[in-house]
Amino acid sequence: MSSYFGLLDEVVTWLRNQNVEEAVARSYVAATFNALGSTAQARAADGFAKLVTDHSTPGGLLNEQAFRELKAAGWTTRIS
Domain total in the chain = 2
Interatomic CA distance for residues 56 and 71, integer angstroms:
14
In this prediction the pTM is: 0.78
Q: Which residue has the higher pLDDT, 25 or 70?
A: 25
Q: Are residues 19 and 56 in the same domain?
A: no
pLDDT tens digit string along 37-79?
999 999 999 999 999 888 887 776 777 888 888 889 998 788 7
- Residue 64: burial class (beta carbons within 10 Å; 0-12, 13-18, 19+): middle
Please give the pLDDT value at position 77.
84
Q: Which residue has the higher pLDDT, 3 or 17?
A: 17
Q: Are residues 37 and 7 in the same domain?
A: yes
Q: Are residues 37 and 49 in the same domain?
A: no
Interatomic CA distance for residues 73 and 19, integer angstroms:
28
Range of the domain at 64: 45-80
Please give the pLDDT value at position 45.
97
